[in-house]
Amino acid sequence: MKLPDYFEPGPLLGQGGMGFVYRVRDARTGCFLALKVLRSEFLSDAEFIVRLKREAEIAHRIRIEGVARVLEFQVDSPPLFLAYEYVDGDSLANLLHTENFRQAEWVVHFYSKLLTAAAGLHSSGIVHRDLSPLNVLVRRMNGNPVIIDMGISRDLERSAITAPDELLGTPEFCAPERIRGEPDSPSADLYAVGLLIYIGLSGANPFVRDHPTKTLMAQVEWDPPPITSLRLDLPEGWDVFLSRALDKDPVHRYPDAARMIEALQELDFRRESRP
């Protein structure tokens, strides 16, 4: 089996356990696409095919600024592929430890936009469930974030595909309630954004341990140090903001993305110098 002839091949953008992502040109429109081609061995995994179809359906129907949309897909027969709109940019994973993401001004600007995109998903009844740096692209043109990879997202109006004891996602960014097996909610995405902010400002993920299981347990049991103990230039308001964003109990976090944006934009950028 081969891909449709109108996909003109281009460079490999990335690869992982699920397959490969290429930049291709759609000869019908002249537009570039990010073509996600899945490994053939997944064809025999019925549960995976169900999950892939869900990703395709969700990402195809949404039209939200800051969320990459699937323009075309084939998931019922080989070759399996998802054709996403192409984003000219870089992964947040490659940029999170750069100087920009240590600057409070940029943090407020960038994550306000990321939270706005997340709010669009949540208002559509969708929780992404894996807002890790690998699933956020940064546009080269304007530095704006774009959420990608809806592979384990949850449509709250439908039943879960995963079993109650199955945890999908990136352990380093998994909200405590998901680890505890509690129901999904938009708060899990807000937690992940709070953790992205903490990592960029501090330079490290405070929960990472030498084994994924230990990392998950740290998310549930351990509180990170106040950000101002690591960044003496930041006002104490950042401690309050991040403490709420990373609270172990979703009830105590910001109630929605809009309120989290509001709190973020109220923060001062630097500590006032004292005489």
Annotated catalytic residues are: 130
Q: Which residue pairs, CB below 8 angstroms and at least 24 apart, start in 6-15?
A: 7/33, 7/35, 7/83
Chain position carrying tokens 């405070």: 206
**Would you tell me how many other CB atoms lie within 10 Å of the CB of residue 225?**
11
Distance CA 245, CA 241 (A): 6
Distance CA 199, CA 97 (A): 8
**Would you tell me how many other CB atoms lie within 10 Å of the CB of residue 55?**
19
Calculate the dihedral angle through the C-alpha atoms of 248, 254, 256, 262, rounding to the nearest 10 degrees.
-150
Distances (CA, A) of 124 to 64, 117, 137, 158: 9, 11, 21, 12
Cα Rg of the chain, angstroms: 19
